[in-house]
Amino acid sequence: ILTTILGIVSVTVIGALFIPHWSAIFYVFIFISVLYVDLLGVLQFSGVTLNSVSYIALVMSIGLMVDFVLHILLRYFESTEPTREGKVKETLRTMGTSIFVGTVSTFLGVIPLAFSSSEIFSTIFIAFMALVTLGAGHGLILMPVLLSLTGATESISVGGRSNHNDEKHRDHTAGVVQKNQIDDDDVL
């Protein structure tokens, strides 16, 4: 139990370093904890007993769960969209495909373990399939829904520049484009 708690806490702290917004800590901690409990439930439901192999798979899964959570969160907080719904749509449009492709490739990489007669490989197969299924479901379905309801509307700075300045630059560029379109219409 101590290893699990330390793993979840350390993942949360590292996540807070990469996503410098105070609310990210709560999302990371809650989602990793829920994913871990869900994974324990799936293993129990599948008839996998808690032994050294399943425990190693569970501890490793904490590190793999982070991919589904942090990628969505980081892209959400980097988004310059003004509304929660807009931020979630942009996040799923830009990052959702990458997470889905990672999910499918992990499925394909783990499928050969299903045909193994070894109990060790069978346990790893069940743990990884459950991890990928739960992680993708939570990261691509549950997290976007919760972010659209409770997510922050402000953005974090990207690459040392404030997103506020990026919006000013975009507004200025849009004004130039609109002015050029008006000038082109006047010529016609």
For the entire predicted model, the pTM comes to: 0.76
pLDDT over 80 (residue 158): no
How far out from the chain centre does Cα 76 lie? 9
pLDDT for the residue 141: 94
Question: Which residues lie across from 158 on neighbouring strands?
Answer: 161
Q: What angle do CA 139, 74, 134 make, to 5 degrees?
A: 15
Question: Mind listing the pLDDT tens digit for each residue in 122-135?
Answer: 999 999 999 999 99
* pLDDT at residue number 8: 87
pLDDT at 161: 43
What's the confidence (pLDDT) of residue 22?
A: 84
Mean pLDDT of 75-104: 92
Q: Determine the residue type at 125.
A: F
Q: What is the DSSP letter of 158?
A: B
- What average pLDDT does the segment 113-142 reach? 92
